Chain A
Amino acid sequence: MSVILILIITSIVVAVVFLGAFFWAVRSGQYDDTYSPSVRMLFEDEKKKGDSDES
């Protein structure tokens, strides 16, 4: 019988953890710009031609 209570409390605690993760994501600015990261990940990491020379 009390198993249900434990389960419910556990489930709410787990959900609260996810809610906390969501807060963190919002606060750290992950929702500020939802466009550029999607483009940025497709850029090639190309090497500069003369890698050592500096202009």
Chain B
Amino acid sequence: MITQEVKTKTKCYHCGDECLDREIVLEDKSFCCQGCKTVFEILSENDLCTYYNLESAPGISQKKSADSLFDFLDNEKITSQLLDFSDEKVERVTLLIPNIHCSSCIWLLEHLSRLNPAIISAQTNFSQRKLTVTYSKEAFSLRALAELLDSIGYTPVINLDQEDATGKPHSSFDKKLLIKMGIAGFCFGNVMLLSFPDYLGISSLEQSYQQFFRWLNVLLSVPVVFYAGNEYFISAFKSLKQRFANIDVPIALGVGVLFLRSVYEVVFDIGPGYFDSLVGLIFFLLIGKWFQNRTYQALSFDRDYKSYFPLAVLTKKAKQYVPTQVREIEKGDEILIRNGELIPADAILIDDKAFVDYSFVTGESEAIAKGKGQYVYAGGRLSGKQARFIVQKAVAQSYLTELWNDKAFQKEEEHVRLVDHVSQYFTLVVITVALGASAFWQMTDPSKTWLVFCSVLIIACPCALALSTPFTIGSILRVFGKNRLYLKNADVVEKLQKVDTIVFDKTGTITNTSEKNLTFNGEPLEAAEKQLILTAVSSSTHPLSRYIKRYLADDSDKVYHLESFEEHVGQGISATVSGVELKLGSAAFVGVQKKPGSHEASYVYLSIGKQYRGCFVVSNVYRMGLKQVINQLAKKFRLAILSGDHSAEKQNLQHIFPSGTEMKFEQKPDDKLQSISQLQSAGHRVMMLGDGLNDAGALKQSNVGISVSEDISTFSPACDAIMHADAFGKLNALITLAQKGRSIVLASFIISLLYNSVGLSFAVMGWLTPLVAAILMPLSSITVVAFTTFMVKMVSLKLKL
């Protein structure tokens, strides 16, 4: 193994990222980090290098991946829920792997058996990002499988959501729709064929044929109306029951009237009925629905990231801590919670001290110290040293999941969707127009009455109107996702449009953490010392601790025991690791003389065993293109900075930010929250960008809270969006896109209204048959969808997104 340091920037052979601070070279291939190299080694050892031939740099960056724990998969109750199939020899499981993204992924995952012969077969489902693996039970386990996948970068996502709804109802729904389409298409074709005699006027030839054809039509339309089209009836019935007319009401009414009238005509031998129109109408409606579903399905991928609740927790059983499923915990159980894990149930602390961070529940991010015997509520996250608790209340599983969906995390402002508003009156108006038109035709030309009634109902369907907003926002979300800005839900786009003030956090938000220039001043640290510091800083969530952790991280896997850990806000951390006392923090905290000239950098002083060892110098490197972004934003928004750090950077910041930018330093999380709410009470709509760890409260308070992160997996539920640090340079373009989205929606509204009024007037005049209306209706939806998607694409291209 040859490793060497090279200064030039090269692309990682595995993941395609730029090799930044150090480059690792192996067999003339460069890697950006140890993780990527390890994956390459695993693959090349097992002769799986075709992976790299199918697509260039297909791998998933290992640099930022968090340590995943899969020990809960040893619990049989959990595994039995996840497994699709199991007998004495073989088990089969389907796992969701969001990282699947190219044909190389499919190839590698389907050749998993080369990595472990116990795997019998593996098959990917690309469109659902799922992998189905069959393996022999004796030599392998679900945990081993999860760890194997994790080691090559395809970390499976196993969470409560998945457990509750394994995605099966969704796919079966899709299948049902396909089958309905099949039936409708089949009947449509045959009905058209059987209607030809009536069209061509052959009826005079043989009366008996005509009757036969017509009755066949009745027979063929029955499954279409009562099976393929049943959802329209069900939905209309449900909405009428709640005294509300949704957009399915006119469709159901039209279909029902047309069917009854046609059957009546055939039974009493009056005419051929309108079976061709009727069946064709339902067929095209279903096609439209299918197309819509496909689009939604494709859009929903970018939003799958809420998997942070612990599935299992360590519970003491017979003097040993074993992973136990959360819902099995009972009152009186002793549980062990490690740093960063959530406390799943109300419990009493039995260790001397623990720090609990309730930012998930209250948005208040300062950890609260709890003493022995104190009551701790579920939903808090332990920060610092691990601690033991006695459970006081069994876990209501729903509580934990509810927490994320809790009102507390949803921003108050209710905005009535225009579509909901319009559609209610729309339906009534349409039915009135239809009745009026058919009354008119009944008097002038009774043969057209029924067709006009029906075509008016169908052509006026406000589908296009209803589709324009979700599709515009959907395409915007997609562009955002591509640029690594992930929104919590679609409403955030509408809120983004209204923002007029942008507040930045400093460290980790406008400064770059990965290109941080970190040096150590003092005697070089020994490996053992490094390990001690690493153990201590791992427990801290402060940005500086994380940089030091990253700086020191190496391959050795020696584990030191963290005996005590305390984080003093604004000062530093003190910890005892394997009997050695460590202090990291400000000069005063460590008890040494401050170094002169500490202006452009943050200093972290270090003492080991009360002995001063030196200091870490973390110079602030601003994100690439920061000045440019700020210049662009300053034209449109009011800007402000809220920083938890000292004001030493003020001068530098003044160069970057326009004069008059409000700058506040040494802000505690609570101060940040206050500043935001002050801005809001002055009538501003505030967007806050922070790292999401020590400003969760401020993010929640702001109208749009965006957490900027190098690693998407660390995020707080209080934020509305997560932005990957790479996207920072495009911030202005992204906001502009959201704002342009509004005009696009408006334009598409006008188009569909125009379309509806023109179509409606044709229908009223009796120039449209229901069949043509049924073809035109999904066409109009598709034009509107195409228009919005195209416009968003154009705008984003123009903005270089």
Interface of A toward B, CB cutoff 8 Å? 1, 4-5, 8, 12, 15-16, 18-19, 22-23, 26-27, 31-36, 39-40, 43-44, 46, 48-49, 54-55
Contacts and interface: CB of A to CB of B under 8 A. Distances in A.
Nearest to A35: B126
Contacts, number: 65
Contacts of B216: 8, 12
Contact of B209 (A4, A15, A23, A54): A4
B206 interface: yes
Contacts of A32: 125, 127-128, 171, 174
A5 B175 CA distance: 34
B127 A35 contact: yes
Interface string B190-233: 10001000000000001001001000100000000000000000
Given A26-B175, A40-B106, A55-B46, A15 B126 contact: no
Contacts of B209: 4-5
Contact of B103 (A22, A34, A39, A46): A39
B110 interface: yes
20 contacts: A1-B206, A4-B209, A15-B190, A16-B186, A26-B178, A26-B182, A31-B174, A31-B175, A33-B124, A33-B126, A33-B128, A35-B126, A36-B124, A36-B125, A39-B106, A39-B107, A40-B110, A43-B50, A43-B107, A46-B50
B47 A48 contact: yes
Contacts of B103: 39
A26 B47 contact: no
B213 to A, nearest CB: 8
Interface of B is mostly: helix
A34 B127 contact: yes
B429 to A, nearest CB: 39
Contacts of B212: 5
Given A27-B175, A32-B128, A36-B106, 6 more contacts: A5-B209, A12-B190, A22-B182, A23-B182, A32-B127, A40-B106
Contact of B179 (A15, A26, A46): A26
B634 interface: no
B664 to A, nearest CB: 51
Contacts of B190: 12, 15
B146 to A, nearest CB: 20
B283 to A, nearest CB: 13
Nearest to A18: B186
Interface in B166-196: 171, 174-175, 178-179, 182-183, 186, 189-190, 194
Contacts of A36: 106, 124-127
Given A39-B106, A46-B50, A19 B127 contact: no
A19 B128 contact: no
B114 interface: yes
B186 A19 contact: yes
Nearest to A16: B186
Interface residues of B, number: 30
A54 B46 CA distance: 10
Nearest to B197: A4
B178 A55 contact: no
B271 interface: no
A48 to B, nearest CB: 6
A16 B442 CA distance: 40
A33 B94 CA distance: 14
Contacts of B178: 26, 31
Contacts of A46: 50
A26 B183 CA distance: 12
Contacts of A44: 50
B117 interface: yes
A12 B186 CA distance: 9
Contacts of B174: 31-32
Contacts of A26: 175, 178-179, 182
A32 to B, nearest CB: 6
Nearest to A47: B47
B179 A23 contact: yes
B179 to A, nearest CB: 6
Which interface residue of A4, A18, A49 has the most chain B CB atoms within 10 A? A4
A34 B297 CA distance: 14
Nearest to B47: A49
B203 to A, nearest CB: 14
Nearest to B178: A26
Nearest to B124: A36
B173 to A, nearest CB: 12
A9 B161 CA distance: 50
A48 B179 CA distance: 42
A9 B787 CA distance: 45
B114 A48 contact: yes
Interface in B591-649: none
A54 B117 contact: yes
Interface string B245-256: 000000000000
A3 to B, nearest CB: 12
A9 to B, nearest CB: 9
Interface string B41-69: 00001110010000000000000000000
Interface in B478-537: none
Given A23-B179, A26-B175, A15 B186 contact: yes
A33 B125 contact: yes
B175 A19 contact: no
A16 B223 CA distance: 13
A44 B100 CA distance: 20
Contacts of B110: 40, 43
Which interface residue of B46, B128, B174, B182 has the most chain A CB atoms within 10 A? B182
Contacts of A1: 206
A35 B106 CA distance: 10
A40 B126 CA distance: 11
